Amino acid sequence: MPDPEMSSDFVPPPPADAPATEADDDALARAKAEAAANYDKFMRAAADLENFRRRSVREKDELRLFATSRVLEDLLPVLDNLALALAAARQPGADAKSLAGGVDMVLAQLKAALVSHGLKEINPVGLPFDAHHHESISASPSKEVPEGSVINVVRPGFLLNGRLLRPAAVVVSSGPAKAGHS
């Protein structure tokens, strides 16, 4: 292998105390310009990231504050109709049958508003008891309903988009009454 110092293309590095050449000054200037440009890019990226973080926090806070607004907008007519029903009930000679019919319509309106937002009522009469969605509050004998099935719903349960909010409180059949028991 030939000695690099003996090659005709070899240029030895200048001594440490040698004066800088114009080429060295140009290379240094280019390196400084590149470093400044990279630093500027870094600072802009850091600022963009901080702005994104702040915007995300602000949007999350706004979402939390106004997430229920659509639900509440759908419930306002129900509130209005309940106020009208109360005003009608306070009138002298109010007809209980028509008031009950009006309140029944308001209940249907409320249920429709809640269903439109993902609420589903659990009303399992006649279905087998399911511990994941039902809460047994008692058992009762029944000739008509098979053992382990729901006879009566004391309080309906609710699912919100498939997630249990409240189990249905139910009475479960213990099957036909046993002989000798009253």
* Confidence band for 181, pLDDT divided at 50, 70 and 90: low
16-29 burial: b if 16+ Cβ within 10 Å, else e:
eeeeeeeeeeeeee
Q: Please state the domain extents for the chain.
A: 119-182
CATH architecture label of 119-182:
Roll (2.30)
List own/partner pairs for 103-110 with CB under 8 A and 24 or more apart: 105/81, 106/78, 106/81, 106/82, 109/77, 109/78, 109/81, 110/75, 110/78
Q: Give per-residue pLDDT as tens, 28-77.
A: 999 999 999 999 999 999 999 999 999 999 999 999 888 888 899 999 99
Rounded to an integer, the average pLDDT of 13-31 is 79
Instruction: Report pLDDT digits (tens) over 101-126.
Output: 999 999 999 999 999 999 999 999 99
133-157 tens-digit pLDDT: 999 999 999 999 999 999 999 999 9
